[in-house]
Structure 1
Amino acid sequence: MHVRVGGVTHRLWRAVDEYGDVLDVLLQEHRDTEAARSFFMRLLETY
């Protein structure tokens, strides 16, 4: 998903559990899929 913050387009990544609850959010100015994957893998270890 893309959102505009201060006139600049950012990528919004959301981690959602099986019940639809948002666990965490990552907002990036530049698309970096590997960084997002790493972030969410660390998040999943917590839950």
Structure 2
Amino acid sequence: MMKGGLGNIMKQAQKMQENLQKAQTEIAAMEIDGEAGGGLVSVTIT
């Protein structure tokens, strides 16, 4: 293994975890609306 290779892998793993947490937070705040049947059926997903 190259010198510093393990350290770089750990940094990448930490960055991926931070990105995943950010994405989970954004998804939790999302609200999606759908409508069908000319407005007879309406759905909101949170």
TM-score of the two chains, using structure 1 as the length reference:
0.34
Of Structure 1 and Structure 2, the greater helix share is in 2
Of Structure 1 and Structure 2, the greater strand share is in 1
| Higher CA-based Rg | 2
